[in-house]
Amino acid sequence: MWVVVKVQTSTNNSTGSSALVRVDTMVPKLNMVILRHSVSVSSLETQRSESIIYVVNDETADNIDGIEGTKSFMSQDTLLSILRESSDGTPSSVLTTANFATFPVTSVHAATGESSSESDTSWPQTTVGIAVLSTIGASILLLAIILVTYFLCTRGRQYK
């Protein structure tokens, strides 16, 4: 997919640029980890308390020559071995530096891919889906009963 961006400044200078956008997908439980942060309550209102991260192994697929290649992501096990000290989620020393002072990392965990947006459950199988489809089905059945009753009652009458 090609994307064209045009920027117009206050002095009416216009610059344009085009780019090739590549969308890669991955399995979260194989390539992602979750960093949990300790932030103040006021910050929580505007910021997320978790970051989901992944690492690209190389940049060969990031230019036009490598567009046909497969993007290589670092495995979750490798990420966890770098970013946490132990399996209880204790962050490694690299995550406790001054670079992370604004959002201190309190734990590092494996992304499981089990959130509602990542699950394999289709909408009709969810509670909301079942409720909506049941309501629609019951409404159609009720309408059919009303119509059948109306036609049976009016069929026997003769108009003069």
Counting Cα atoms < 13 Å in the Cβ hemisphere of 46 gives 3
Tens of pLDDT, residues 100-148 = 887 788 889 988 865 444 445 678 888 888 999 999 999 999 999 999 9
4-18, 45-59, 133-147: which is most confident: 133-147
| pLDDT level of residue 29 (50, 70, 90 thresholds) | confident
Tens of pLDDT, residues 54-82 = 888 887 777 777 777 778 888 899 989 99
| pLDDT level of residue 36 (50, 70, 90 thresholds) | confident
Looking at residue 141, its pLDDT comes to 96
Looking at residue 15, its pLDDT comes to 67
Per-domain residue ranges for the chain?
25-119, 121-160
Looking at residue 57, its pLDDT comes to 84
Spatial distance between the Cα atoms of 118 and 48, rounded to a whole number of angstroms? 18
Mean pLDDT of 140-157: 88
Percent of the chain with pLDDT over 90: 18
Closest-CA residue to 80 (of 107, 108, 57) = 108
Angstrom distances, CA of residue 21 to CA of 2, 96, 100: 6, 34, 30
Q: pTM of the full predicted structure?
A: 0.49
Q: Is the pLDDT of residue 1 over 50?
A: no
Looking at residue 19, its pLDDT comes to 58
Spatial distance between the Cα atoms of 145 and 93, rounded to a whole number of angstroms? 69
